[in-house]
Amino acid sequence: MKDLGRNLLKYRRHFHSNPELGWMEYTSAVYISKELESFGFSVSRGSEFMDMSFAMGLPSKEVNNVAFDRALNVFSYKELLPFKDNKTAVLASFDGGYQRTIAFRFDMDALPIVESIENSHLPFVDGFVSSNIGVMHACGHDVHMAIGLGFARLIALNREMLKSNILLIFQPAEEGVRGANVIINSGVLNGVDYILSSHVWSNMPLGKIVCSQNGTSSTHKFDVEFHGKSSHAGISPEKGNNALLAASIATVNLHSLVCEFNNVVRVNVGRIEGGTARNIVADYAKLEIEFRSQFKDVESRLVERAQEIIKEAAEGQSCSFKLVKQGESFGVEGSRELASVIRESAIEDDYFSDIVLEDEENRGCEDFTSMMGFVQENGGEACFIGLGASIIDKDFLHHSPDFDVDESIMLPTVNLLFRLLQKISR
């Protein structure tokens, strides 16, 4: 176990110092695939199974090329080729021909954040701060990948003890809820009986575990482009069609949906751009929008109403519009029977001092819930586990420059997942 603990620390710090944004996790994917193959897993690389027609929120070609070129400084073109063009997922499997298949998912992507270089920030002090300036693992996905590799190592060492087929999914582009849709529609989850994932939380006390997090919101992310007609704003404004005005009207009316839905939804126009100069009627504008709700049926009605508002705003200014979905996920509840097995597994380790079967706390959005929903709809069971990983006397926020977690959470989590796997495999 000491060796496993050291490897977990090595993995986490490697990933933390080499963060990559969603759909561009090139070095992470190569590193993970090489490790998994060394453990004896059958490994599939992105281009071998990913159907990118279902991808949302892909980076521009220019941005992607910069990321791929950066990866070429670390790995050879031959090693990177199977992941080229944003196909950065990795699958590892042990297929023993058993009737039951159990899947575990680990997310891979980082965030566009400049990491702290203050002397109070452990990654900076201990020399594993981000080497990719402007990109940071500020949500714990470095820890998740490390746990995934540690778990894979433990499975490989004890394979004869397990009586089920095992599938490990390393998923790109969780941030923005973009990546799960590709995994699902590529057929990866067909035939899966159980699927689990976990998330470390910097604001949850160390030792606490929530066996089934049921408060994850449904969400949709859209970009909307308005196209109008430019004209002179002083001489002939009536001859123009003001795209920026259409976008502004849509913005105000979209935010009114919060009241219309009695405050059970969240709407945010996070970015607006458009126009060329103060004396020109704007012929172009763009909105970046997100919608959230705790309830799938409410979310569907919310999106429907939002599309009506956008259409009305465009038509009111004689503009056309284009709506592009950039991400989506649906909130679901975990399987209570499976949550009980997770609780039984947690009770066996004194590290977990506060064991909660399930809760409804709002922890934002997470596209693993889309995978959960797919497996449950096809007769399987699923849970999303919450792990307290706060550092004593610290109050680090997720998605912030000084984010960090207590690394001691990793080994107990690996052992928990393995005990859980044993129980389900019986």
Of 329, 359, 389, the residue that ends a domain is 329
What is the side-by-side order of every strand in the sheet holding 165-171? 42-45, 90-94, 165-171, 101-107, 194-201, 381-388, 208-210, 354-356
Per DSSP bridges, beta strands 194-201 and 381-388 are: parallel
Pair (212, 345) in one structural domain: yes
Of 266, 297, 329, the residue that ends a domain is 329
- Which H or E run contains 288? strand 284-293
Q: So what's the pLDDT on residue 268?
A: 96
Task: Look over the chain and give the mean of its residue pLDDT values, rounded to a whole number.
Answer: 96
For the cut 90, the answer to whether the pLDDT of residue 399 exceeds it is yes
Pair (212, 335) in one structural domain: yes
Domain of 26, CATH number, reads 3.40.630.10
Question: What's the Cα-to-Cα distance from 10 to each of 6, 13, 370, 405, rounded to whole Å?
Answer: 6, 5, 31, 15
Domain of 259, CATH number, reads 3.30.70.360
Burial bucket for residue 145 (CB in 10 Å: 0-12, 13-18, 19+): buried
Pair (175, 226) in one structural domain: no
Under a CB-based contact definition with an 8 Å cutoff, are residues 202 and 405 in contact? Answer: yes
Question: What's the Cα-to-Cα distance from 126 to each of 15, 16, 325, rounded to whole Å?
Answer: 14, 12, 41
Pair (11, 112) in one structural domain: yes
**Nearest-angstrom CA–CA distance, 190 and 185:** 9
Pair (165, 62) in one structural domain: yes
Q: So what's the pLDDT on residue 308?
A: 98
Of 278, 295, 329, the residue that ends a domain is 329
Parent domain of 256: 218-329
Neighbours of 112 (CB within 10 A): 13
Nearby residues of 382 by Cβ (< 8 Å), 6 or more positions away: 194, 195, 196, 332, 334, 335, 338, 371, 372, 373, 375, 376
Pair (77, 176) in one structural domain: yes
Pair (91, 196) in one structural domain: yes
Per-residue pLDDT tens digits for 310-367: 999 999 999 999 999 999 998 899 999 999 999 999 999 999 999 999 999 888 899 9
Q: So what's the pLDDT on residue 395?
A: 83
Pair (48, 24) in one structural domain: yes
Place 132 in a pLDDT band, splitting at 50, 70 and 90: very high
Tell me the torsion sign for CA atoms 29, 406, 416, 173: negative
Pair (256, 401) in one structural domain: no
The helix/strand/coil state of 352 is coil
Under a CB-based contact definition with an 8 Å cutoff, are residues 357 and 386 in contact? Answer: no
Pair (295, 372) in one structural domain: no
Question: What's the Cα-to-Cα distance from 133 to each of 65, 96, 117, 123, 196, rounded to whole Å?
Answer: 17, 43, 11, 14, 32
Query: What is the rounded average pLDDT of the residues 272-294?
Result: 96
For the cut 80, the answer to whether the pLDDT of residue 2 exceeds it is no
Place 206 in a pLDDT band, splitting at 50, 70 and 90: very high
For the cut 80, the answer to whether the pLDDT of residue 17 exceeds it is yes
Nearby residues of 233 by Cβ (< 8 Å), 6 or more positions away: 240, 278, 279, 280, 281
**Nearest-angstrom CA–CA distance, 1 and 5:** 6
Pair (297, 345) in one structural domain: no
Nearby residues of 423 by Cβ (< 8 Å), 6 or more positions away: 341, 344, 345
Beta strands, E only, 108-190: 165-171
* pTM attached to this predicted model: 0.94
Q: So what's the pLDDT on residue 296?
A: 84
Pair (157, 77) in one structural domain: yes
Q: Domain count for the chain, please give it.
A: 2
